[in-house]
Amino acid sequence: MKSAFRLGAYAIVYLSILVLAPHGESQSYQGKELVKAELLADTDAVIPGKPFTIGLLLRMAPGWHTYWKFSGDAGLPTEINWNLPAGWKAGEIQWPIPLKTNDPGDIQTYGYQDEVLLMQQITPSAKIDKSSVKLSADASWLVCERICIPGSAKLNVDLPIASANNPANQELFARWRRLLPQNLPETAKGNWSRIGSDLRLSLTTTALANYPTVGFFPLPPDNTAVGHPTIESRSGNEITFHIPIQSANKSLLSMEGLLVFGQQANGEDRSAWQITNAATASSADSTPARGIFTFLFFGFVGGIILNLMPCVLPVISLKIFGFVQHAGQSRQKILRSGIAFAGGIFAWFIGLAALLIALKAAGREITWGGLQFTNAYFVLFLSVIVLVFALNLFGVFEISLPQSATRGLLGWTGAQGEAGSFFQGVFATVLATPCTAPFLGTALGFAFAQSPAIILSMFVAIAAGMSAPYLLLCAQPAWLRFLPKPGPWMLHVKQFMGFLLLATLLFLLYVLGAQRGLDGAIWASCFLLFVSIACWMKGAFVVPSASVAARQISVLLLLVLVIGSGIYFIGGKFRSTKISTGSTQLAGDWQAFTPERLQAELEQGHSVFVDFTAAWCLTCKFNEANVLESAAVREAFQRHAVVKLKADWTNGDPIITKLLQQFGRPGVPLYVLYRGKSEEPIVFPELLTKSIILDKLETISHTVASQ
Amino acid sequence: MKTKLTLTIFASLVTTALYAFDPPPVGTAAPDFSLTDAKGETYSPSQYKGKYVVLEWFNPECPFVKKHYGSGNMQKLQEEYTGKGVVWLTIDSNAPGSEGNLSADAASKVMTGWKTRQTALLLDPEGKAGRAYGAKNTPNMVVINPEGKIVYEGAIDSKATPNPADIPNSTNYVKVALDESLAGKPVTTSTTKPYGCSVKYK
């Protein structure tokens, strides 16, 4: 009896060794054990057909870590490949919420320290005719401390087959299941939008109030280089993340990831919600940034203003009367003609945009890469365009289409019906060129610095503005009587517009001054003076009344003047002016930004506000004058002892460019508040308000105080 | 200040306001740096205007770097493209005291021992060049065109593993970028996610 009892005890011990003590393997490096790997089941026996969970337990030496499904800027995710008996299935790895690590050099990685359990659901086949089963898997991982060592192991776990079972390794599985992300609750509302090539995720949930630390851990698709998500804004129940996308991926509308909450970053209590593509993809086409609308509105208004020009305004009345007569007062027919006419206007502007985009694309591949505001020569080029068109508006010289072209174009418009109206729309716009060129030319110049999508929407907006009166009047011909009568006043409007262009020129010269100093602005102005004289010569001497010889001599002289002064003032004097470092702009308690400076201030535990700005950036100037330099904000900065750094991008400093890219911004303005070394920086919207800044400064003082 | 603003804003409205949108960055302009090699000679990308320049971030201790050197893959690329007039600068941005940081002596030894074929192996213990390019991995690859613009940035190839056996089945992005560039074509895959060890910055 006694021996039988002993035998039974041995059997139990043996069995428990077999079941509970799995076969582990360890990875050693230079005599040190780095990782201990083993497979563990959450059950002591397999019931045929009933799913259970097996976890790969990795125990890392202190200081060493393995990686999450998305490893971040470095590292590799752990992989598990199962060799299961026929009819068995393994589910996806259930990744616990990782820890986010920041290393010098802005390196952000996601991984696990000390220990991690990577769980997978195993579904056994419904019929198993053995009494036990050996399940084996090949695991491979990368373990890093200061250095990275790849590791791998062939692991297996033996489990008996039974009709009933008991849970095993309960504490371990419970502990790691607590760290699995949850599904996004119904009450939380997520919203994706695209900002240029970047993504923005806005979430509304009452849960935010309970957690000081919230982060978005991205799970980007393969071959998508993603930057570090930043919190763009957070207030009450709303949080907005900016997720920079570094690789061009036009179809990317949302991204999987985790919304991670905690009392502190990387805390044991951290919890997360799974953000899936499917759940939020429907809202992907949400509104773009407000800026685009403002900008398109300006384009629309610009288009309406074009109608006030002397060679356009008379066309409106004529066209509408024409439509009314041809259509025999049938409202529907009038409207159809009007729409066709507007279609012609759109076609012309879209064509213009396409041409510009094509030129720009070609330019990027060849040599025009530097057409940016950060490039002083580009600003100079714009100044010339603006000046020439201003002089044109003053009547110093005329822009004229060759007569043969005019006649040829008119021939096309003879077609009847809607087709005729369409071509009339195209050619009315073309024929109005002498009046619209000053504006369109200027717009084209500025448009060179923009992305294709923006160029296209801009020109569509102008077309909409320009065709609006036609459409409106075709719908309501009676309103024709509200139209101002053409007259000499139009000439005055035209000349007045010239002064507005000169105001633009002043602004461009201010930018040149900021880039190349006073000397630069003066030498550029000298060149502009000679360009003006050339324009005057064109208006005074290159006229039909002059003899052919006189005209040719004038043109020759004019070219000599422009090219000669260009070589002397721009190629010589202007080129030799030094690139201004921008330090002259530092006023008050602002200090020049360098990455080292920022790092040093943060090391000392200071909060730092960085203003990324440029002389040519109007939004920046507006924010600085109305918000950052206002008494209330200055006082608040001082009270919270925030160090204020100014990063001047006027000349396109490459270090600042890189930083802007890291924040996913194509340019300035950018405002960032660093609350401390370990805190996520807060990124402010492009248009600042006092309350945004003051609110954020208040929350910062709390975070700092509670640390 | 306010009136000037109103004036300029109105002017911009008339000129259809395109610059209300701030311009994209020079983005593609490659930052310059100046580093020395084991012999104390100074190299900068700007001195190679007119040539294609490859930057390769390096750490002799990193298994991902060893994957490409142990298999001879990296040396082959270096030999092939320096032969075609491309300048190949290998950069070690690891801080002194961290694994992978090379002294001048050690750098020479690695170059002879591994039979490397780059134009120069540059020492960047301060991490200046690395930070300017936001290089986070070893290997991290950058291709600069003769006009000094970045045309490729990212991984060396498409298989993010430390296993040399994966090299034959992967697409080498640097090779593709250089071949396309040298043939006068635009680079089709210009940004990828680099993979490897992290650069150990100071």
Tell me the pLDDT tens digit for each residue of A681-703.
888 877 788 888 888 887 765 44
Q: Respond yes or no on whether ipTM tops 0.95.
A: no
Residue A16 lies in a domain: no
Quote the radius of gyration of chain A (alpha carbons, Å).
35
User: Which pLDDT score is estimated for A690?
Assistant: 84
Contact B26 A372 (CB under 8 A): yes
Confidence of residue A317 (pLDDT cuts 50, 70, 90): low
Distance from CA of B26 to the nearest CA of A (A): 7
Q: Which of B16, B33, B44, B166 to mutate to test the interface with A (most CBs of A within 10 A)?
A: B16
Residue A260 belongs to some domain of the structure: yes
In angstroms, the CA A37 to CA A547 distance is: 95
**What is the sign, positive or negative, of the torsion defined by CA atoms of A103, A107, A108, A110?**
negative
pLDDT number for residue A365: 37
Same-domain status, A537 and A604:
no
Q: The CATH number of the domain where A231 resides is what? A: 2.60.40
Do A255 and A380 belong together in one domain?
no
Last residue within a domain, chosen from A576, A608, A637: A576
Q: Among A324-338, A413-427, B13-27, B61-75, whose mean pLDDT is lowest?
A: B13-27
pLDDT at A486: 65
The alpha carbon of residue B148 is apart from the nearest alpha carbon of chain A, in Å, by 10
Ranges A165-179, A232-246, A355-369: which has the least confidence? A355-369
Our CA-based measurement puts residue A107 at a distance from the nearest CA of chain B, in whole angstroms, of 6
User: In this structure, are A633 and A485 located in the same domain?
Assistant: no
Token duo for residue A60? 């890392």
pLDDT value at residue A206: 81
A-chain residue closest to B1, CA distance: A625
Is pLDDT at A551 greater than 90 in this prediction?
Answer: no
Note whether residue A3 is domain-resident.
no
Q: Contacts of residue A303 in chain B, CB cutoff 8 Å?
A: 16
Probe site for chain B from A106, A144, A147, A628 (most B CB atoms < 10 A): A147
Task: Judge whether residue A45 has pLDDT over 60.
Answer: yes
Query: What pLDDT band is residue A707 in, cutting at 50, 70 and 90?
Result: very low
Q: Chain A interface, mutation test: which of B21, B55, B147, most A Cβ atoms within 10 Å?
A: B21
Residues near A638 by beta carbon (within 8 Å), at least 6 away in sequence: A589
- Look at residues A65, A55, A94, A69 and name the one whose alpha carbon lies nearest to residue A257: A69
On whether both A387 and A425 belong to a single domain, the answer is yes
With an 8 Å Cβ cutoff, are A652 and B160 in contact? no
Least confident of A233-242, A320-329, B59-68, B141-150: A320-329
Domains located in chain B, CATH noted? 25-198 (3.40.30.10)
CA nearest A149: which of A32, A69, A24, A23?
A: A32
Give the model confidence (pLDDT) of A374-423 as tens digits: 678 878 887 888 888 888 888 888 766 555 555 555 555 555 566 767 77
What mean pLDDT do residues A135-159 have? Answer: 89
Angle at which helices A417-431 and A331-365 pack, to 10 degrees? Answer: 50
Q: Do B10 and A625 touch (CB under 8 A)?
A: no
Chain A hits for B196, CB-CB cut-off 8 Å, are 74
pLDDT given for residue A311 in this prediction: 59
Do residues A333 and A297 both lie within one domain? Answer: yes
Nearest neighbour of A661 by CB, restricted to B7, B27, B192? B27
Record: contact B99-A147, CB cut-off 8 A:
yes
Interface touch B8/A447, C-beta < 8 Å: no
Say how far residue A38 (Cα) sits from the centre of its chain. Answer: 44
Residues of B in contact with A660 (CB under 8 A): 25
Question: Is residue A591 assigned to a domain?
Answer: yes
Q: Which of A61-75, A89-103, A436-450, B12-26 has the weakest average pLDDT? A: B12-26
Residue of B14, B46, B67 to mutate when probing chain A, most A C-beta within 10 A: B14
Number of domains in chain A: 4
CA distance A229 to A379: 34
How many CB pairs below 8 A link A and B? 224
Residue B55 pLDDT: 95
A622 and A535 within one domain = no
The residues, ordered by sequence, that sit 6+ positions from A381 with a Cβ below 8 Å of its Cβ are: A445
**The last residue of a domain, from among A576, A597, A625:** A576
Which residues are A462's β-sheet partners?
none
Are residue A218 and residue A326 in the same domain, yes or no? no
Three-class SS of residue A187?
coil
Q: Are residues A500 and A530 in the same domain?
A: yes
Quick check: B190 and A248 CB within 8 A?
yes
For residues A526 and A430, membership in a common domain is answered with: yes
Residue A306: list chain B partners with CB under 8 A.
none
Residues A485 and A524 in one domain: yes
Q: Chain B: give the shortest CA distance to residue A138, in Å.
A: 15
Beta B53-57 vs A682-684: how paired, if at all? Answer: unpaired
Q: Is the peptide bond before A488 cis (omega within 30 degrees of 0)?
A: no
Averaged over A96-102, what is the pLDDT?
91
Kindly report the CATH number assigned to the domain that includes residue A593.
3.40.30.10
Rounding to the nearest 10 degrees, give the CA dihedral for residues A573, A578, A579, A581: -150
Q: Determine the pLDDT at residue B36.
A: 94
Q: How many angstroms away from the CA of B185 is the closest CA of chain A? A: 9
Asked if residue A406 is part of any domain, the answer here is: yes
Say yes or no to pLDDT of B156 above 90: yes
| Triad B80, B84, B86: Cα angle to 5° | 95
A382 in the same domain as A528: yes
Query: Could you report the per-residue pLDDT of A477-532, keeping only the tens digit for each?
Result: 777 677 666 667 777 877 887 887 788 788 888 888 877 888 889 999 999 999 99
End-to-end CA distance of chain B: 44
Nearest Cα of chain B lies from the Cα of A144 at a distance, in angstroms, of 8
Region A293-301: mean pLDDT is 74
Are A148 and B134 within 8 A, CB to CB? no
The residue among A281, A309, A343 that closes a domain is A281
Q: What is the pLDDT of residues A562-605, one digit of tens each?
A: 999 999 988 888 887 776 655 445 667 788 888 888 888 888 88
Q: Residue B146 has what pLDDT?
A: 92
Residue A195's domain comprises 182-281
Give the residue from chain A lying closest to B129, CA to CA.
A655
Contacts of A446 in chain B (CB under 8 A): 15-16, 18-19
Residues of B within 8 A of A377 (CB-CB) are: none
CATH code for position A106: 2.60.40.1250
Say what the pLDDT of residue A68 is.
95
pLDDT of residue A329: 59
Decide if A171 is inside a domain: yes
Please give the model's pTM, rounded to 2 decimal places: 0.50
Residue A445 shares a structural domain with residue A367:
yes
Q: Which of B23, B29, B193 sits opposite A373 (nearest CB)?
A: B23
The Cα A517–Cα A509 span in angstroms is 10
